[in-house]
Chains A and B, each alone.
Chain A
Amino acid sequence: MASKKTKVVDGFTAIRAAQEAARHGRGDPVRPEPGAEKSAAGPPSKAGSRVGRTVMPTKREIICPECGLPTEITGKVQLFVCNHCRHRMKLQDVEMPEGDWKDDLEVGGTVIVPTNATLAGGKITANDIVLQGKMNGGEVRACRRLTMGADAKPDWVRLKTLDLELGAGVNLTPGKPIEGRHLNLHGKFSGNAILTGTLTVHADGDFSGKLRAAGLQVEEGGGLRAQLDVKPEYAPPPPKPKNRPPPKRPSKLREPPPKARPSEPRKKEGS
């Protein structure tokens, strides 16, 4: 009797198989060509009509505020749990209302501070922050990226971020050197920057000052008047995976106990 092979087929595998078949000219089983005979079962099902428009779920990088390590999540998730330290937080986006904001807030999504809002107190922690309003107090921590709008008035003493992006029309002159990972310029930056990542000057951006970075990218049209020290070696080494104890072998794979050596035939005593 022939052994039955079991195979798990998930949704993506089925879709890819249908796409592959269509690509190799085997025809779409769901949407036959106009000249083909219609099946006796009736009109084709609508399930396959979405084959051509399948979109892979987007991936997002969430940086944990507790341990600072990145975790990649896929699709719609409401609660973020850090893979490294098990820290939990909501993954919602928040747009602050007009007026003063004095409460604490911790989310894994994006916090938008609009032009007519003011941060007057509290501690705000988010993965991404879009700052278009004022900072009069409180602490702001963007675990990944801070995007500054043209009307933003940041307080650099109480502001921490990994990546900084200047929107179009922003003219930023920080009083102290900017330290972080990436700096993304659509606006004008005058000052010093020490980056472990890349400075990207877009066509509408401008950088003047001193730069030490691992990478530099300038789009044609971007301005760059600076003392540069750009070397890929300045990038930090990738984090090593933690040493986890090796998984225990399942009982089936355990080696069988050594067989007893065939003992020599006992000599009969007394013979």
Chain B
Amino acid sequence: MSDADNQTRSIISSEVEIIGTVKTSGSIQIEGRVEGEILSEGDVLLGKSGSVKGNLRVNSVTVAGTIQGNIQAKDRIELKSTARLLGDIKSKRLAVEDGVTFVGNSEVNPTGQPIKIDEEAPRGGSDNEGRKEGQPQPQGGNQQGNPGQQGQQGRK
């Protein structure tokens, strides 16, 4: 990591717990616990010890900890092998390491149109708090044309 990145990166250390919305124009590293929304125009790094209960609307995010909420990333989402994600994701690019736990919907289409981040909070963020593992729920309003899923629902 370059020095320039360090200068603009905020860090929430593992002893810190935040309840509320975190909004930053730069990058942020989360090692603690956040209960609320995270809005970042930069990159978000969620460390192994970090956990977020709420939605993320970011430029890019790397997840090694736990997220219970939806992720919308303009550029890229990366899930490390220790990541645990209960929620939906929407991004242009995705990289996933083997070993993740992921229950939710994914909408990643690298060849499609660029992802437009909603100005309002993504729907269903609070719904995920009550989501049970093993029962992924449809993304609803965020769902665009998906012939594969439509076809299967018809078959089932």
Q: Which positions in A face B, CB cutoff 8 Å?
A: 173, 175, 190-192, 198, 208-210, 215-232
Q: Which of A190, A218, A231 has the most CB of B within 10 A?
A: A218
Is B136's CB within 8 Å of the partner chain A? yes
> Interface SS of chain B: helix, strand, loop or mixed?
mixed
24 A–B contacts, CB within 8 A, in A order: A190-B148, A191-B148, A192-B152, A208-B149, A209-B152, A216-B100, A216-B102, A220-B76, A220-B93, A221-B93, A222-B94, A222-B110, A223-B111, A225-B107, A225-B108, A225-B149, A226-B105, A226-B149, A228-B105, A228-B106, A230-B101, A230-B102, A231-B133, A232-B99
CB of A208 within 8 A of CB of B96, answer no
Q: Which of B96, B108, B152, B156 contacts A223 (CB 8 A)?
A: B108
> Interface SS of chain A: helix, strand, loop or mixed?
strand
Q: Nearest chain A CB to B117's CB is how many angstroms away?
A: 18
Assuming the A-B contacts A223-B110, A227-B149, are A215 and B105 also in contact, with contact meaning beta carbons closer than 8 angstroms in the complex?
Answer: no
Q: Which residue of A lies closest to B108 (CB)?
A: A224
Within 8 A of A (CB), among B6-57: none
Residues of A within 8 A of B101 (CB): 230-232
Residues of A within 8 A of B109 (CB): 223, 225
Q: Which residue of B lies closest to A198 (CB)?
A: B98
Q: Nearest chain B CB to A57's CB is how many angstroms away?
A: 27
Q: Which of B99, B104, B111, B152 contacts A228 (CB 8 A)?
A: B104
Residues of B within 8 A of A208 (CB): 146-149
Residues of B within 8 A of A221 (CB): 93, 110
Is B97's CB within 8 Å of the partner chain A? yes
Q: Which residue of B lies closest to A197 (CB)?
A: B98
Within 8 A of A (CB), among B129-156: 133-134, 136, 138, 146-149, 151-152, 155-156
CB of B136 within 8 A of CB of A227, answer yes
Is B95's CB within 8 Å of the partner chain A? yes
Question: A210–B136 Cα gap in the complex (Å)?
Answer: 10
